[in-house]
Amino acid sequence: MAGHPSTYEPQYAATKWLDQRLPIIRMGADFMTYPSPRNLNYWWTFGGILTLCLAVQIISGIILAMHYVPHVDLAFESVQRIRRDVPFGWLIQPMHAVGASMFFLAVYIHMFRGLYYGSYKAPREMVWLFGCVIYLLMMATGFLGYTLPWGQMSFWGATVITGFFGAVPVVGESLQQWLLGGYAVDNPTLNRFFALHYLLPFVIAAIVGLHVWAMHHAGQNNPIGITPKTKKDTVPFHPFYTVKDAFAVMVFLMIFAFFLFYLPDSLGHADNYIEADPMKTPPHIVPEWYFLPFYAILRAVPDKLAGILLMIAAIVVLFILPWLDTSKVRSMRFRPVARWFFLIFVVMCFILGWCGAGTPDDVAIKLGTKVVEGETVPSGLTFYRLSQIGTIYYFAYFLLILPILGMVETPRKRPDSITQSVLGDDAIVAAE
C-alpha cells in the first residue's frame, strides 16, 4: 500500500530534532505499523525466515573469515583447525555450511510461493525482479563459498563451473583465464573467490533492501491476490505478523538445528573431506543439492555450449516471467487449470534435481530388461531422457503454458474483498 499515512509522533526533543533531519525512527515505526493483508498464510513467513538466514550466514561467515586461510596449502587445514581448536568453531563452521542449505531451502519455498500466488504480477514486477537478482547472487555466493574448504568437490566443482566460461565462442579461453587468474584453478582463484564470497552477501543485503522497499511500495500480495480495499482488509504488521513470523522462524530453526547438530554432513559430499588434489578427478563430480535441477538442465543436451545456454536461459526465463504470464488473476486458487500445471512444475523441479544427482546413462525408471553382451540389464527411462522431459516441461511452463492458459482458462469466481473471503468463507464454498 503506497503512501500509508505515518502515525509516528516523536515524543522527545531529541527524536523531534532527529525526525526533522533524518526520519529514520519514523521509517522503522512505519515499517512496524505497515498495513498487511489479514489473510497471509504461513507461506508468507519465508521472507522473515530468509532475512534470518542471511543474518546467520553473514555473522557466522565473518567469524569464520577471522580463522580461515585462503591459501591452497592451508585452506583445508585451517577448516580442520576451526572445527578442532577454535572456540565454538565446531558449532560455527557447520552452522555456516548447513545454513547455506537452509537458505536455499527457504528461498525455493519463497519462490514457489511467489509462482503459485502470482506475486510477480503487476504491480509487483520490481519485487520479483529484485528477488531474481538476489537468487542469482545467492547462487554465485553459494558456489564461491563451496570452493573455500578446498576439498575435492570444492576444487573440481570450481573447475567444472569455470569451465563453462571456456565454452563461450571466441573469447572463452581468455575469459576463463581471466576469471581463474591462471590456466587452472589454483591459489589466485582461491584468493579471488574468497574476496568475492565475502563481498557478495553485502550486495545481497543491499538488494534485499530494494526488494523490501519495492514490496512496501506496491503492497504485499496475499493468498487470494485481491488488493486490500478497506482498512478492514489489513492488520498492522506488528504485532500480527511479527508474532506469526516468529512462530514460523522457531519451527524453521528446529529443522535447522536438527541438521546442524545431528546430521551436519548429510547435506554435503563425503568427498569434500578429501583435500583438493588437482591430479585426481573424483569419479562423480556433483554440485550441492540446491544446484542439481540446473545441473540436470545443463546435461540434458549433448552439446556443452547449448547446455550452458539452456542453464542460463532457465534463470533468465524467471526474470521475464511477469511479461510471459498473460493471466490477470494472481492467485492460482482461482485458476482451476493452471494450478495443476503448477503442481506438475513443482514435481518436475524435484525430478530434475533427482536427475542432477544421478548418472545420465543409468536407468531412472525401470520399464523392463534387455540383454547386452549376454547379460541381462535393466532397461527403461535413463536419467538423461528424464532430464530432457523435465527440461522441456520447465521451459514449456513459462514459455507456453502460462502465456496460453491466461488466454483460454476461465478463472473461478473471486471474492470481492479479503474481508469477504475471510468472513464469508462458508458462503463462498456453498456457492461453488
Partner 1 sequence: MAFKSIKTLLVSGAVILSGAAGIAYAAGGGTGDYKMKYQDWNFKGAFGSYDPAAMQRGYQVYREVCASCHQLKHVAFRHLGDKGAPFYNKKYPNPNDNPLIKNFAADWMIEDIDSETGDVIERPGIPADKFPPIYPNDAAARGSNGGALPPDLSVIVAARNNGADYLYNLMIAYDAKKPDDVELTPGLYYNPVMDGGKIAMAAPLSDGLVEYAPTMVEDHGEMKEVPAPEATVEQMAADVTEFLAWSADPKMEQRKRTGFMTMIYLLILSILVWFSYKKVWKDVEH
Instruction: List residues binding partner 1 (CB under 8 A).
Output: 38-40, 77, 80-81, 83-84, 90-91, 94, 105, 109, 112, 116, 235, 239-240, 243-244, 246-247, 250-251, 253-254, 257-258, 260-267, 270-271, 273-275, 283, 289, 332-333, 339, 342-343, 346-347, 350, 354, 357, 422-423, 429, 432
Contacts of 31 (CB under 8 A, 6+ apart): 216, 237
Is residue 302 helix, strand or coil? coil
Query: CB 308 → partner 1: shortest distance, Å?
Result: 26
Query: CB 15 → partner 1: shortest distance, Å?
Result: 27
Residue 274 sits at φ, ψ, to 5 deg, of -100, 130
Query: CB 122 → partner 1: shortest distance, Å?
Result: 23
Q: How far apart are CA 358 and CA 74, in angstroms?
A: 33
| Grid coordinates belonging to 414 | 473471486
Q: Which is nearer to partner 1, 311 or 418 (CB)?
A: 418
Q: Which is nearer to partner 1, 63 or 310 (CB)?
A: 63
Query: CB 323 → partner 1: shortest distance, Å?
Result: 25
Q: Give whole-number Cα distances, 46 to 32, 107, 154, 225, 237, in Å.
A: 18, 8, 29, 18, 15
Q: How far apart are CA 382 and CA 141, in angstroms?
A: 32
DSSP for 16-51, written as a single string: HHHHHH--HHHHHHHHHH-EEETT--GGGGHHHHHH
Q: Which is nearer to partner 1, 202 or 247 (CB)?
A: 247
Say which residue the cell 492488520 belongs to. Answer: 235
Query: CB 236 → partner 1: shortest distance, Å?
Result: 11
Q: Which is nearer to partner 1, 200 or 357 (CB)?
A: 357
Query: CB 345 → partner 1: shortest distance, Å?
Result: 11
Query: CB 336 → partner 1: shortest distance, Å?
Result: 10
Q: Which is nearer to partner 1, 185 or 286 (CB)?
A: 286
Query: CB 77 → partner 1: shortest distance, Å?
Result: 7
Q: Which is nearer to partner 1, 192 or 339 (CB)?
A: 339
Spatial CA neighbour of 285 closest among 159, 141, 140, 404: 159
**How many beta carbons lie within 10 A of that of residue 189, not counting itself?**
20
Q: Which is nearer to partner 1, 16 or 412 (CB)?
A: 412
Q: How far apart are CA 89 and CA 2, in angstroms?
A: 45
Query: CB 234 → partner 1: shortest distance, Å?
Result: 11
Q: Which is nearer to partner 1, 119 or 162 (CB)?
A: 119
DSSP for 152-191, written as a single string: HHHHHHHHHHHHHHHTSTTTHHHHHHHHHTSSSS-HHHHH
Q: How far apart are CA 404 and CA 417, in angstroms?
A: 27
Q: Which is nearer to partner 1, 180 or 275 (CB)?
A: 275
Are 70 and 191 spatial neighbours (Cβ–Cβ below 8 Å)?
yes
Are 367 and 381 spatial neighbours (Cβ–Cβ below 8 Å)?
yes
Residue 269 sits at φ, ψ, to 5 deg, of -110, 140
